[in-house]
Structure 1
Amino acid sequence: MSNEFIQQAANTLRTAHRQGSGATELGTLAKDTLGPAFGPVSFVAVFSSAFGIPIDVLQRALAWQGFNPITNAISDEEFTDLLAKWLGESASE
């Protein structure tokens, strides 16, 4: 996985965000854009590069139900609220 690949994915996410995509749409887009390269490291690299989100926040975001359909996964609302500071949105608005 090259830095260029990560930057292209980050650019795709930034463009989608400017066009109105929210956290859950961006999470799904990241997973789709990265394809087989999707994983904890690539997710953190792309979101950090695209939006400047700190690694500790992104580590928690990896528990989103859109990535991990497990019982202790965080909901769409929690994922949105977790990233709200950097994406300018909140599920509770």
Structure 2
Amino acid sequence: MGNEFIQHVTDNLRVAHHQGLSATDLGRLAKELLGPAFGPVSFVAVFRGAFGIPVDVLQRALAWQGFNFGGSAISDDEFTDLLAEWVKKPEGK
């Protein structure tokens, strides 16, 4: 997994967000685009790169039920609320 690949996924997340995808949809898209490279480090890299979300917030977001990393899961709504400051609804959407 190289920097170009991470940048490609980051760019795709920004475009998808501009098109109106929610935080949970963006999380699912990141998982899909990263494929076998998906994991905590790659998730943090692409969401931090795309939206400037602080690492400590992204660490909490890793508990989202959509990622199935185990441990205590947070719901779709909790994931969305956690990232809301950085992943806002685009203008006009």
* TM-score when normalising by structure 2: 0.91
**Which deviations, in whole Å up to 9, do the C-alpha atoms of 1:70-89 show, x marking residues without a partner?**
57200000000000000115
Aligned counterparts, 1:49-88, within 5 A? 49-68=49-68, 70=70, 72-88=72-88
What SS does the aligned partner of 2:86 have? helix
Give secondary structure in 2 for the equivalent of 1:32. Answer: helix
- List runs of 5+ in structure 1 lacking aligned partners: none
Instruction: Render the CA deviation track for 1:3-61: whole Å, top value 9, x for unaligned.
Output: 11100000000000000000000000000000000000000000000000010000000
Choose between structure 1 and 2 for higher RCO, CA contacts under 8 A separated by at least 6 residues: 2
- The correspondence of residues 4-15 of structure 1 with structure 2, limited to 5 A, is 4-15=4-15
Moved over 4 A (4+): none
Output the TM-score relative to the length of structure 1: 0.91
Q: Give the Cα–Cα distance (whole angstroms) in 1 for the partners of residues 69 and 41 of structure 2.
A: 19
SS at match of 2:84: helix
SS at match of 1:87: coil
Select the structure that is richer in helix: 1
Query: CA offset at residue 64 of structure 1?
Result: 0.2
Aligned length: 89
- What is aligned with 2:19? 19
Cα RMSD over matched residues? 1.3
